[in-house]
Amino acid sequence: MTEGDVLAVEAANESLYAAFEAADLDVMSELWIDGDMSNKARCVHPGSEAIVGRESILRSWALLMANTEYLQFIVTETETVVEGDLAVVTCVENVLSSGGVNRPLGAGRALTTNGFFRVDGVWRLWLHHASPVLSDASDQIGEEP
Amino acid sequence: MTEGDVLAVEAANESLYAAFEAADLDVMSELWIDGDMSNKARCVHPGSEAIVGRESILRSWALLMANTEYLQFIVTETETVVEGDLAVVTCVENVLSSGGVNRPLGAGRALTTNGFFRVDGVWRLWLHHASPVLSDASDQIGEEP
């Protein structure tokens, strides 16, 4: 992978958070993959079920945008791998958000894996997987320590 | 990506769950990437913080294996993409587990993204990201609907 590839992928990654902060569904729509891959697009919001398919995913972002009054992301610990036209970014989303009167300002954090495919020279988001950090993960059944 | 590549990646993916079910740390150790990539290895158990680096990750699995008396995975909805020597698998982990007397048998589910690199012809796990499905995700601060 070249440094240029990594920079381009990380710019695409940043545009995800910029689009969400700005509640810009057009930019979000441009970012998510379309065409043949539309049905393979996959989005996991923190703690939620997976949403599969471009249209359902964009609907979920529209809903999130409508329900969020203030939102600021500070994305840290970004690590990017690129191989050919496939890229994976892992990062930490540090979020400051408010849903308005009934949902006061709060801070949160999510651990994220974002997957991209390069289509016609443009990196398009195909996978967004964000997970919550629970204060007591041992309450969850499964593989956690 | 060839069908052979996909099958090989999915076999590696299955070996992760087989190793955990069998509490076989040797197989788990063989599966996780080593060498130059060791420090880039990343593991998120459901609801937990990210663990970075091969040694810390293997310690976490050893602890999980020690604290689990019975474990059975049924992995569903497996989707695999391969590009050159990089592969990403998304799947759903349906788990039946027990930690013994103090932790009765329970069923759970995690949504997972696993990332692999092919090194010397062998697919090695470099990223494991599993996230819990919370009954009420709106309790979490962040991007969830």
Q: CA of A107 to nearest chain B CA: how many angstroms apart? A: 7
Q: CA of A84 to nearest chain B CA: how many angstroms apart? A: 6
A-chain CB neighbours of B53 within 8 Å are none
Q: Which of residues 106-125 of B touch A (CB under 8 A)?
A: 106-111, 113, 115, 117
How do residues A37-86 score in pLDDT, each as one tens digit? 999 999 999 999 999 999 999 999 999 999 888 899 999 999 999 999 99
Please indicate, yes or no, whether the overall pTM of this predicted structure exceeds 0.95.
Answer: no
pLDDT value of residue A117:
98
Indicate the pLDDT class of residue A143, thresholds 50, 70 and 90: low
Does the CB of A129 have a partner CB in chain B at under 8 Å?
Answer: yes
Q: Is the pLDDT at A139 greater than 80, yes or no?
A: no
pLDDT value of residue A140:
45
What distance in Å separates the CA atoms of residue B39 and residue B56, rounded to the nearest whole number?
10
Complex prediction ipTM = 0.90
How do residues B96-134 score in pLDDT, each as one tens digit? 988 666 667 788 899 999 999 999 999 999 999 999 999
Which residue of chain B comes nearest to A82, CA vs CA?
A: B86
How do residues B64-95 score in pLDDT, each as one tens digit? 999 888 899 999 999 999 999 999 999 999 99
Does the CB of A62 have a partner CB in chain B at under 8 Å?
Answer: no
Pure H helices in B32-128: 54-66
- Give chain A's count of helices (H) and strands (E): 3, 6
Does the CB of A53 have a partner CB in chain B at under 8 Å?
Answer: no
Does the CB of B98 have a partner CB in chain A at under 8 Å?
Answer: no
Does the CB of A144 have a partner CB in chain B at under 8 Å?
Answer: yes
Report the SS3 class of residue B13.
helix
